[in-house]
Structure formats: structure tokens, C-alpha cells
Amino acid sequence: MEAYLQENFEVQSKNSSEEVLQNWRKLCGVVKNPKRRFRFTANLSKRGEAAAMRRTNQEKLRVAVLVSKAAFQFIQAGAQSGNYTVPEEVKDAGFQICADELESIVESRDTKKLKYHGGVTGISEKLRTSITDGLTTTNSDQLTKRQDIYGINKFAESEVRSFWVFVWEALQDMTLMILGFCAVVSLVIGILTEGWPTGAHDGMGIVVSILLVVFVTATSDYRQSLQFKDLDKEKKKISMQVTRNGYRKKMSIYDLLPGDIVHLAIGDQVPTDGLFISGFSMLIDESSLTGESEPVMVNSQHPFLLSGTKVQDGSCTMLVTTVGMRTQWGKLMATLSEGGDDETPLQVKLNGVATIIGKIGLFFAVITFVVLVKGLMTRKRQEGRFWSVSGDDVMEMLEFFAVAVTIVVVAVPEGLPLAVTLSLAFAMKKMMNDKALVRHLAACETMGSATTICSDKTGTLTTNRMTVVKTCICMKRKEVIRNADSSNFFSDVPECVPKMLLESIFNNTGGEVVARRKRRKREILGTPTETAILEFGLSLGGDFHKERKACKLVKVEPFNSEKKRMGVVVELPEGNLRAHCKGASEIILANCDKVMNSDGEVVPLDEEKSKHLKDTIESFASEALRTLYTCIGIVGIKDPVRPGVKESVAVCRSAGIVVRMVTGDNINTAKAIARECGILTDDGIAIEGPDFRQKTQEELFELIPKIQVMARSSPLDKHMLVKQLRTTFGEVVAVTGDGTNDAPALHEADIGLAMGIAGTEVAKESADVIILDDNFSTIVTVAKWGRSVYINIQKFVQFQLTVNVVALLVNFSSACTTGNAPLTAVQLLWVNMIMDTLGALALATEPPNDELMKRQPVGRKGNFISNVMWRNILGQSLYQVLLIWILQIKGKWIFGFKGPDSDILLNTLIFNSFVFCQVFNEISSREMEEIDVFKGIWDNHVFLGVISCTVLFQFIIVEYLGTYANTTPLAPVHWLFCVAVGYLGMPIAARLKTIHV
């Protein structure tokens, strides 16, 4: 079976081809309920339609871009004229431009129209906003009018399906429809022959059972859909830096309105259509909209920014013009979501299992029906009424047909693929509480197979709360004491040095110091590194706004992980230009040929001074301090290791997961942190990215298994390492990243983990899981939940296949030997619900335990239905089949059943024993290899609730619903016997676990 599944039902955890996805669906053949079976798999036809629409839209945009470029010079040279009439409702609301006109300007990149309206400043005036202070939101009526005229920044979403839709879908089950038809015929014939209400009992029993199955199924599916809806809302929570009411703050993109001023930086996704106000080196990736791979330069001459595009380089402020469904991205979003998420490998594999067993079940059902009918005909021939047909004969034939259909219901494990979804939904919801947002279902189960984690350092292994603790200014090393007098810090340096240092700190930065009007306190915005340096500048008595006003920024070269530096050119008051640069210490130092000495003079950087600075860098780095070199000095920034990281790394090691640190930092800093975290061991290697990329394939084959730290790595090095681990070594790789340049590695990895705090929107979009607290311990939690999902599904499959095998063999063997089936249609429907919906709830929602992280990972090629599972399934099935066979043959003699009620008493006893075997087998299935199956059971309230409900309903069915379920009340001694033989399955299961496979 495993070989067949791997050959025909094997898909990748991500990026599977459409051909592969189509192939396994064709192999599924006839499905009892396609609406349920394939509810959580990608809609390939809809995806095709969405892709076609996307291509059409891309072509339209591409044409608009080409036309715009071709006409640009002509428009610039031509006379500006135009006719635009402001609609009355827009005028009445206090604005001078309508939403359609704004949409037309940006989407068509219409420079002529933009100039006609007075450029960006003119548009802002017509929108009643300020390009420096943003919207004024003191008047709520004005905000409401703005929303009414221009819309809100939300996209059309599919409607939430009501509970009754799920009821209707559950009713689409082919076998339930057939049973429903049988029930109606049974009702009609029963009432005509026996009258009301006696004749209606059999038919009503089937109807009630069908309705119970449908409503329990629908309730389970509806709850799943609500969980996914909640998770979907969390995925869409995106915040941006916005200026409103004159000060800068974080806001949800869904609260943005035309007239807002948005601050964009590298890695951001443009949240609305808009116009460039000011900024530097803005490169925009428009491939998601236009299909063009070349980035577009955005500046005051070409100021158009489109929603959904990504900031590849630079930073700017943008005036919001068009929002929500009016944007091209909004129109695309409506179609892109239609394709659905790709199915997970486990869903596909269990669809394969369901298909194989379904075919076997159908074969046995047909044979059972034929044997039962043959027995009836033989009996009629013996009684001499072969050619006569009575109402009882029709009812008996109908019961045989219902039993055959119900065998298919029980035999086909339709709930298997849905049990994966239930388990994944449960795990995703719980992981959300543990600060991990799963964006793709497959990541949840794949993480359980992870064999290696390539982790970033800053913010993941460390706290990302940076402070400057040491400096080397004018060749003098100093400790930075918090809250100390700034005059003391500069007491032994020339007067010109503090001025130069503060000029560099406050101008050469991507951060900002803002004043909060309401809180009456300042706040520093920017990356943790920028924040640390700005905080240092403020502690020295510097004034951010004063320094920024004193100089004019002429050019900005933003920081990115390839250059590992940033720089600015400022125009000084006297008209001279000065360049400031900061970044990775050794990279900046390599580009310097002068330095400020202790007298504040700029002198040549000779070998002695260079050695002193290099020794300083290494000294700081060996103390796990990140170092930054400016033309004035070096600052050492402390970023402490997060609490619990060392323990988490140890947990990973015991779980067979190798943790590697991949960072852009100095190798000495990286090694110091890696040792502190327990990542770098005596037999491990630390290597720098430039050395790594020079190695041959043969050298990499020897080197990669030993690499524990890669420092000064570029995004290309990270991608190369991940690809080698996945392809050459067959590892299941999880990768963490936060920057735009991490996107290729996140995409290449089996599981991409983006940082929710420090991560850019581009990184998050490429990731499968978002770590909301940026903490490495959370990654270990995700791995634990991933393993839990995998193991829980295995438990459920083991339990369900046991019930499948026993139900098939019991009814088939009974039909062949005695001419009747001991388990009726109603009873089999109840058993089906125990093993399907209720079984999935009980076993597929088991929370993880610490023991999971003491096992080796399954890896890429592990068998899903393992030999351990087959041992347990076959051993338990053999016991249950033998028990029921003995009861059928010797049951009346053992219990002394005599008289007309002996048959129904025996069948009730068999049915009750069978159900209690499943109850105790469900408990045994909590552990596939461990003998102690009660560990943690009292903490699992769902499991206890399901078991309790099963026993309670079984008691009610046997004692009070006999008329409908073909049962009769049992004596206490008989109940004791049923519980005892069910419980006997547990020591047998424990004994089976001692058999080594």
C-alpha cells in the first residue's frame, strides 16, 4: 500500500505542479461525497480562471506602462490642458476630485492629468490633506464623508457560509442518499403492512441515524471553517507607519484613507495606490501586477505607486489616492483567492488510503448483498414459495441492501482526509496562541518532519533590544554608562568631535525620533540597530530635529543586507558636501584611509592605527557585541540572548534536529552567540559566506554536514545552503528570515519562517509560518505541534482502519456462514460516527507532549502507515473478529439465550461488545508504541468528552431506542461482559506493542 501511495499520491509540501495535483484526483475515482472530500483542496479550475484574468490584467498594465513611457517626453513638452468637472456629491463633501479621477491618474500613470491637477501638492489640496502633517481626524463626520466618497481599504471577501450550508453538503453523501431512499421505501411498506407506528420503526431508525450523522458531521465541519476564518483574519493584520494629525504612528492598512501619508521602506508592500511625495533610491518590484521582472524607479518625475507592489530598495513617503476594490490589486485579489490553498501531502496520501479501502469495501459489500439474497432465496425454495413475494420478503431484501450500503459507509474512511484538516485547524489555532501564525496548511505537518533549522541570529536567538555599551571614538575605548552626564563622556575629546558624531548619527539613519502629542514623550522608530544608535545620540544630549534642520540631505544610500552599509550625503550650512557612512565594521574599515585621532585631527590610517581598530572590532565582537564603524569611531551594540534559547536548542538536538545559525554579522560575534546558545559545538564548523561560496561541490559535500555557523552571509549564500541541504542531503529544512533578501531562501525551504516583528511584508509573504514574537523557542513549539499533527493522524488512521477491517469481516463472514448480518444499518451508522467524526475529534486533537521531542524526525521518506501501525491494526482486528465469531457461534449456549428473543439478545450483545471494543481501542490508540496510554489523558478534555458521550449514547441506544436500532435492553451481567471484553483489548494491545517490528 505504501509503495502505491508513494507512486500515485505523493505531492510536495509546496510548489507541486498542476499535473501532479490533477493526477491523484483522477485516481480517486468515484467518491461518496466530493463536496466534503475535496472541500479543503485547491480548486484548480478556479485557479486557472484566476491566472487567466491575472495575465489579462498584467497585459493591460504593461501596455499602460509602455504607452506612458513612450508619451512621456511629448507630454512634458506639450501644453497642458484638460477638462474635469467635479461631481456635485464630491463638492458637497468638501473635496475637489473624485475617486474615479484619482484611480485613472495612478493606474494609467497619466502624467498629463497629474500636472493638470497641480501635481502631488495639488492633489493633496483637493483631498483636503497636508503632505507633511497628513489627515486631520478630529472631525468624525469628515472621516465618514471621506469613506463614503472614496471607499475603504478592504477587499471583497467570500461570504461566511452558514451552518445550514454544511448540513446540505453533508447530505450530498451518495451512500446516505441511498440509505435515505431505503428508509422511505421501508416506511411506506412497513406502514402499509403493519400500520402506524409499528411499521415505521425500521425506516424511522435509519432516518434518525442519517440525520444524527449529518448534523454531527456538519457541526464538526462548521467549527473547522470558523477556525480557518479566524486564522485568515490574523493573516491579514498588517500595520504601516502613517502620519496623521501631524505625528507618525503605526496603523492597520485597513484604516487607510485617500489623503493619508504612508512611510515606505525596503521590504514593505505598497498598501494602496498612491503618489510619491519625497524619498530616496525608490525601486519598486511590480512583477506581481505587470509580470515585468525589472524593478521600476519611482521619484518625483515618475511618482506612481501601485497597491500590491513591493519596495525593493530605498524609502519614501506616499500620498494615498485610491483604496480597496478600486485598486488594480483589489480587483486581482477577488480572483486570486478563488484557487484555494494547495492540498497537504497527508491529505493527498489519506485520500489515497480512502480510495483503496473504498474499492475493497465496495467489493465486500456487493458480495455480502449477493450472499444474503442467495440465503433468502434458498430459504424460500425450501418453504415452497420461491415465486411468491410478500411484504416481509421486500422488507428483508431492503434490509439486506441497506446493510450492503452501510458496509460501504463504514468501509470507506471518508473522514481520513478531513481528519487531517481537523487536526491541522486545531493545531493552527493552538499555535496562534503560542505566537505562531501558520499561513499554509502544509507547513504545519511538514514542520513535524523537519531535520534541520537554519536560524537567523538577530531577534530570533537574541532579544532584538539593542543598546550601545562600548565605543571607540578618537582611538579611545570607553564604556557607555546609562543615564550618565553627556559632558563627562566627551570630557577628553576635542570640541569638534561631538558635533561631527551627532551630525552623523542623526542624519545617516533610516530611523526617526517622533514626539507623541498625547503621551508627551518621544518615541524612536526604526530597526533595533538604528534605535540603539539614535538612543545613544539622544543620551549624549543630541537633538534629532535640530541636527536634521542644520543639514540638507542630498542623497541617501539605504542599508541592505548585500552592501551591509548605508550612507548619506549632506549639504552643510556653508554649502560644502559631506558623506557619512556606517555599517559592518570590517567592511567600512576596509574602505577608510583616514581616521580622527585623539586630538580630533583627521590623519592617515596607518598600519598601527588600523591594527588598533581591528583589535577593537575583534575585542567587541568576541564579547558578542555588534560593531559599527563611522568615520569617527566604533560603537559596540549589545543584543542579549533570549531566555530559554539554550534549552530550546538542546530540545532540538535531542529531537534529532540540527540547528544552524546563518547571520550577516561578524564571525567572532556569531561564534560567541552560537556558543552561548549551544549551537556551536567542538566538532562543528563556523564559516564566512565569502569562503562558503568559493567551495567546489565536492568540498561542499564534505563541509555542509559540519557547518553550524555561517557568518557574513549574503542572501545568495543562505539560499545556496538551503538548496544543498534539501537536494544533495535530502534534509527537510526550516529557515527563518526577516528581510526582503531572505525571500528566496524562505521560498526554497520546506518551511519558511518569517519574523512577525522585525520581518518585512515581502519576507512574510514568502513564508509559510510567521513567528509573531520573533523567538526561537516559538520555532521549537511549531516543530512540536507539527510532530503532534503527524502522530495524531497516524493514531486516528490506526484506530479507523481497525474498525474498517473488523466491520467488513464480521458482516461478510456472518452473511456467508449464517445468512444474516449481526450489525444492522442503524448500528453500523452509529459505529461509523464513532470511528469517523467522533474518533477524529478524540485522536486528531491530542495536544503535544515533551516525549515527541525525544524521537528522531520522520524526514523526507518516512512511511506514513508504518509497520508498527500494521502490527497494532492486525493484532487488534484479529482479537475482535475472533471474539465476535465466538459470540455468533456459541453465544446463545454461553449465555443461555432461548426463546423468540434469543436472536435479538445475541445481536445486541454482539453490537454492544463491538462498540466497547472500539471505545477501549480508542484509548489504546493514544500511544502506538508506549504501553502507558493513560499519560496526560485527564488533561485532554476533548478526548474524555468524546469517550463519555460515546458510552452514554451507547447506553441510551441499547436500553431505550431498541425499537429503532434493533436492540433490546441487556441485564447488568451482560453489560459487565461487554465492558470486560472491550477492556481485554487493552492488555492485548499492550502485549502487541512488545513485539518488535
Angular region, 541: left φ>0, alpha ψ -120 to 50, beta rest: left
CA angle at 578 for the pair 575 and 582, rounded to the nearest 5°: 155
Give me the numbers of helices (H) and strands (E) for the chain, helices first please.
39, 26
Domain stops at, among 276, 305, 333: 333
Residue 504: φ, ψ to 5°: -70, -45
Rounded CA gap, 790 and 776, in Å? 22
CATH (domain of 886): 1.20.1110.10
Residues in Cβ contact with 543 at an 8 Å cutoff, skipping those fewer than 6 apart: none
d(CA 177, CA 188): 17
Phi, psi of 239 (to 5 degrees): -115, 150
In a domain, 65, yes or no: no
pLDDT of residue 630: 58
Tell me how long the chain is.
997
Whole-number Å distance between alpha carbons of 349 and 132 = 57
- Measure the CA angle with vertex 507, ends 470 and 275; round to 5°: 135
Q: Does a structural domain hold residue 59? A: no
Tell me the residue type at 696: T
Burial letters for 890-909: b for 16+ Cβ neighbours within 10 Å, e otherwise? ebbeebebeeeeeeebbbbb
Residues 6+ apart with CB under 8 A from 895: 905, 906, 909, 974
Q: What is the CATH classification number for the domain harbouring 292? A: 2.70.150.10
What's the CA gap between 284 and 268, in Å, rounded? 10
Q: Please report where in the chains the cell 484619482 appears, as a residue.
A: 102
Residues 325 and 367 in one domain: no
Residue 182 shares a structural domain with residue 294:
no
DSSP string across 917-930: HHHHHHHHTT-SS-
Question: Is position 712 within any domain?
Answer: yes
- Could you say which of 221, 456, 665, 750 is catalytic? 456
Residue 512 burial (CB count, 10 A): 18
Domain-located, residue 243:
no
As a dihedral over the C-alpha atoms of residue 376, residue 381, residue 387, residue 390, rounded to 10 degrees, the angle is: -50
Q: Do 553 and 507 touch, CB atoms closer than 8 A?
A: yes
619, 635, 651 - which closes a domain: 635
Determine the Cα–Cα distance for residues 616 and 630; give it in Å rounded to an integer.
Answer: 14
What pLDDT is recorded for position 79?
40
Q: Which helix (H) or strand (E) holds 610?
A: helix 607-622
Residue (of 461, 463, 466) closest to 628 by Cα position: 466
> Residues 218, 224, 229, CA angle at the centre, nearest 5°?
125
930 and 789 part of one domain: yes
Cβ atoms of 462 and 639 within 8 Å: the answer is yes
705 shares its domain with 588: no
Q: Which residue from 479, 640, 467 is spatially nearest to 538, judged by alpha carbons?
A: 467
Q: How far is residue 684's CA from residue 663's CA, in Å, rounded to a whole number?
A: 16
Instruction: Assess contact for 350 and 865: CB atoms under 8 A.
Output: no
Cell readout for 766 is 514568502
Residue 828's closest CA among 540, 381, 481, 408? 408
Number of domains in the chain: 4
Name which of 154, 440, 133, 510 is nearest 307 in CA terms.
154
Angle (deg, nearest 10), helices 825-833 and 902-924: 10
Cell of residue 675, nine digits? 556558543
* Residue 740, domain CATH: 3.40.50.1000
| Strand partners for 470 | 479, 636
Domain final residue, candidates 749, 774, 799: 774
Same domain, 582 and 505: yes
pLDDT of residue 276: 94
Question: Which residues make beta-bridge pairs with 494?
Answer: none
Kindly write down the DSSP assignment for every residue of 240-275, as one continuous string. EEEEETTEEEEEEGGG--TT-EEEE-TTPBP-SEEE
The number of angstroms, rounded, from the C-alpha of 498 to the middle of its chain's C-alpha atoms is 49
Separation of first and last alpha carbons in the chain: 17
Q: Tally Cβ neighbours within 10 Å of residue 59.
A: 12
Average pLDDT, 10 consecutive residues per value, the chain (997 residues): 76 79 79 74 73 68 60 46 79 90 86 89 92 84 87 77 86 77 76 72 77 82 78 78 87 90 89 91 80 81 89 89 85 60 78 82 83 82 76 77 75 73 83 85 84 88 86 86 73 82 89 69 81 89 87 83 83 87 86 83 86 87 74 83 90 93 88 92 91 90 93 88 91 85 84 84 83 87 89 88 84 72 78 77 85 84 82 94 90 88 90 93 91 88 91 91 85 95 94 90
3-state helix, strand, coil split of the chain in percent (to 5) is 55, 15, 30
In 3-state terms, what secondary structure has residue 584? Answer: strand
Would you give the DSSP letter of residue 641?
B
DSSP class of residue 834 equals I
Alpha helix stretches (DSSP H) within 819-866: 825-833, 839-843
Expressed as residue numbers, the domain containing 552 is 467-635
Q: For residues 959 and 840, state if they share a domain.
A: yes
Residues 326 and 202 in one domain: no
Do 313 and 261 belong to one domain?
yes
Q: What angle is formed at CA 253 by the lines to CA 249 and CA 258, rounded to 5 degrees?
A: 90
Q: What is the DSSP string of 664-689?
A: SS-HHHHHHHHHHHT-S-TT-EEEEH
- Report d(CA 404, CA 398) in Å as an integer: 10
H-type helices in 434-491, by residue range? 441-446, 486-489
What's the rounded Cα separation, in Å, for the pair 679 and 707? 10
197: cis peptide before it, omega within 30°? yes
- Look at the block and give the residue holding cell 534539501: 726
Query: Which strand (E) or helix (H) includes residue 76?
Result: helix 44-77
Q: Three cell numbers at 56?
A: 489579462
Domain identity same for 406 and 440: no
Do both 137 and 169 map to the same domain?
Answer: no
Residue tagged 545613544 (cell numbers): 536
Q: Is residue 913 part of a domain?
A: yes
Q: Is the Cβ–Cβ distance between 663 and 710 less than 8 Å?
A: yes
Same domain, 795 and 870: yes
Is 104 contained in some domain?
yes
CATH number at residue 530: 3.40.1110.10
Residue 24 lies in a domain: no
Burial class (CB in 10 A: 0-12, 13-18, 19+), 963: middle
Please state, in angstroms and rounded to a whole number, the distance separating the CA atoms of residues 400 and 815: 10
- Identify the residue whose cell numbers are 556551536: 680
In the DSSP assignment, the letter for residue 560 is -
What is the model's pLDDT at position 262?
94
- Alpha-carbon gap, residue 179 to 184, rounded angstroms: 9
Query: 196 and 138: one domain?
Result: no
Per DSSP (E only), the strands in 475-564 are 476-479, 512-516, 521-525, 552-557
Provide CB contacts within 8 A for 793, sequence distance 6+: 346, 350, 419, 420, 423, 445, 844
List, in sequence order, every beta strand (DSSP E) within 558-598: 565-571, 577-583, 594-596
Is there a domain that residue 398 lies in?
yes
Q: What is the largest CA-CA distance in the chain?
A: 125
Active site residue 456: yes
| Adjacent-strand bridge partners of 826 | none
Phi-psi category of 128—alpha, beta or left, where left has phi over 0 and alpha has psi -120 to 50?
left
Find cell 541636527 and name the residue: 547
Return the pLDDT at 75.
Answer: 47
Measured distance CA(312)–CA(457) in Å, rounded:
23
